[in-house]
Amino acid sequence: MSEMPVLQVEELSGGYSLGRPVLHDIQFDVQPGEMVGLIGLNGAGKSTTMKHILGLMTPHRGGVVIQGKTRDEEPETYQSSLAFVPESPLLYEELTVREHLEFAARAYNVGQEDYAKRSERLLKLFHMEEKADSLSMHLSKGMKQKVMIMCAFVARPPLYIIDEPFLGLDPLGIRSLLDFMLEMKESGSSILLSSHILSTIENYCDRFIVLHKGRVIAQGSLKDIAEQAQMPGASLENMFYALVKDKE
């Protein structure tokens, strides 16, 4: 397995206006086959960080490297190396579930045989087989979220950027997603996961990055975070609360 990080965020500062950066010298990486939790309060800078990684925002300073390349150097390679699951599902109302999967597979140049195997497995895993030929306008919010997740996972890029994926999912959907993310991780894919449900991701992520007011205030394994919070043996939720409370 390559020692080069799949994702490198290097001293990233940025935001929506040049004079008022939201992010301040953000520095972290995600290794091959690693799931990293990006956690913070509302307004901490999680979504802004993800937008910079996705290439939707231009850094004021620093940058983002995926598999050794920046977006400016090789934009097509950069974009094809990642898939994104947003917090709120964004679908084409007059496309069916299956057509969304086909569209995503074509965008990532997935072969027909691989597409057929992956799509059928995902439809079964997320209990969407009966909805495969339904228009997205007729789906519930939770089902729409499942379609977004399936479109990302049918692609199989090296890096997944996943923002609050559990919102709207039922308990079975959450478990299916977590199990599949573990499977993708074990196959070598990397995942950057943002979630407020700390008790759910605590036992799934290899490392955590704690953002607060646009700065990284702690990062590392659960043990590392416990040492930085001076709370050995505590839950991630309690450690997080202590860390951000100290910074208020």
Condensed to tens digits (0 to 9), the pLDDT of residues 37-55 reads 999 999 999 999 999 999 9
- Express as a percent the part of the chain with pLDDT over 70: 98
Distance between CA atoms of residues 202 and 180, nearest Å: 16
Give the list of residues 6+ apart from residue 245 with CB closer than 8 angstroms, or none.
none
With beta carbons less than 8 A apart as the criterion, state whether 14 and 21 touch.
yes
With residues binned 3-state (H G I as helix, E B as strand, rest as coil), the percentages for the chain, rounded to 5, are 40, 25, 35
* pLDDT given at position 2: 47
- Express as a percent the part of the chain with pLDDT over 90: 89
Q: For all residues of the chain together, what is the average pLDDT?
A: 93
Question: Whole-prediction pTM value?
Answer: 0.93
Question: Sheet harboring 215-220: ordered strands across?
Answer: 82-85, 159-163, 190-194, 35-39, 207-212, 215-220
